[in-house]
Amino acid sequence: MSPLKRGALIVFEGCDRSGKSTQSRRLAELLKSKGIPTESLNFPARSTNIGQVVNGYLTNSKDLPDEVIHLLFTSNRWELMGKLRQKLLAGTTLIVDRYSYSGVAYSVAKGMDFEWCYAPERGLIKPDAVFYLRAAPESLAKRSEFGEERYEKVEFQSRVSAVFDRICSNESTYWHQLDASQTADDLHSLIAGTAEKLLPQVATQPLDKLS
């Protein structure tokens, strides 16, 4: 009897309004249309106990020290890790909008230490692919709804972008940098091509951890 093929963990990262939600949704719809068991989620997962505290912070109704909010974001990922592992091993591909890297990038952009921020992420499931949608924050600011949440300021997003660039350079084996100023259709086509090659490649590989 052949071992059950696992699903892939595919993550979308990038600055606010870079198109992550649109592209993650389109990829999930495509995979489902091909009969591939697929689920979408995004972090922070605002419906969990910890996620509700994070949501209050992001919508500007709560103030918390930077270290506390960073660890809350990380805890929000940890509280769902068992469920994610179960789904992946059962053969479901997970499309995730934001993951550990956003947690690190936003905290480091506030002036916190990179290694301190990354440390509590170690041990979480490592993605099979990260699609990094990169664009100049000045151009993202022209997109609709920019500025509605706490971190949507051009200068801050520029600092976030610099941290994403650093992580992308460190993790280049599974990060795919894409120009987010392309049309949504062109981006989708590039992402779909990479994802469809990836799924059979990882199906028999064990899950890895961030280290």
pLDDT of residue 143: 47
pLDDT of residue 131: 98
Residue 207 lies in a domain: no
Q: Helices (DSSP H) in the chain: which residue ranges?
A: 20-33, 49-58, 66-78, 81-89, 100-109, 114-118, 137-140, 154-170, 184-202
Residues 36 and 132: their CA atoms lie apart, in Å, by: 23
At residue 59's C-alpha, the angle toward residues 183 and 75, to 5°, is 90
Q: Which domain does 151 fall in, by range?
A: 9-202
Strands 93-97 and 9-14, bridge-based pairing: parallel
Residue 78 lies in a domain: yes
pLDDT of residue 148: 53
Per-residue pLDDT of the chain (211 residues; tens, 9 = 90+): 345 799 999 999 998 878 899 999 999 999 999 999 999 999 989 888 898 888 888 777 667 889 998 999 999 999 999 999 999 999 999 999 999 999 999 999 999 999 999 999 999 999 999 999 998 766 655 545 545 555 557 788 889 999 999 999 999 999 999 999 889 999 999 999 999 999 999 999 999 999 9
Dihedrals phi, psi of 111, to nearest 5 degrees: 110, 5
pLDDT of residue 47: 86
Residue 209 lies in a domain: no
Contact 133, 18 (CB under 8 A): yes
Dihedrals phi, psi of 132, to nearest 5 degrees: -100, 105
Contact 178, 187 (CB under 8 A): yes
Residues 9 and 207: their CA atoms lie apart, in Å, by: 9
pLDDT of residue 139: 61
Residue 211 lies in a domain: no
Residues 18 and 23: their CA atoms lie apart, in Å, by: 10
The total of structural domains in the chain comes to 1
CATH of the domain at 182: 3.40.50.300
pLDDT of residue 59: 78
Residues 90 and 179: their CA atoms lie apart, in Å, by: 33
Residues 194 and 133: their CA atoms lie apart, in Å, by: 14
Residues 39 and 45: their CA atoms lie apart, in Å, by: 14
